[in-house]
Amino acid sequence: MTAYAIFIRDKLTDPAEFEAYSNGVGETFKGHPAKILAAYGKQEKLEGIEPDGVVIVEFPDIAAARAWYDSPAYQTVAKHRWKAAFYNVVIVEGV
């Protein structure tokens, strides 16, 4: 069943580290069945705290999403994201 990795950025704290993340993350998808559905586009808050940015990535299933997230390539690049901003990240199964 389709799964979605959702990245919700609460606050950017280090633009240089985020740039390093942004420059490297695209390569981490090579060999993974992923489709980026949204990435820091225009948003309209309806409830709660407005996020600084949102990314939604579609995968065929949770296992595929975890395989990408846990991959050495992504984990190496993710270190820049962790230094760059505060995020909430979830993988959710579709219906």
pTM: 0.94
pLDDT tens-digit series, residues 2-25: 999 999 999 999 999 999 999 999
> 81: pLDDT confidence band, cut at 50, 70 and 90?
very high
pLDDT of residue 9: 97
If you average pLDDT over every residue of the chain, what do you get? 97
Q: Which two tokens stand for residue 53?
A: 């940015």
Spatial separation of the C-alpha atoms in residues 61 and 92, rounded to whole Å: 9
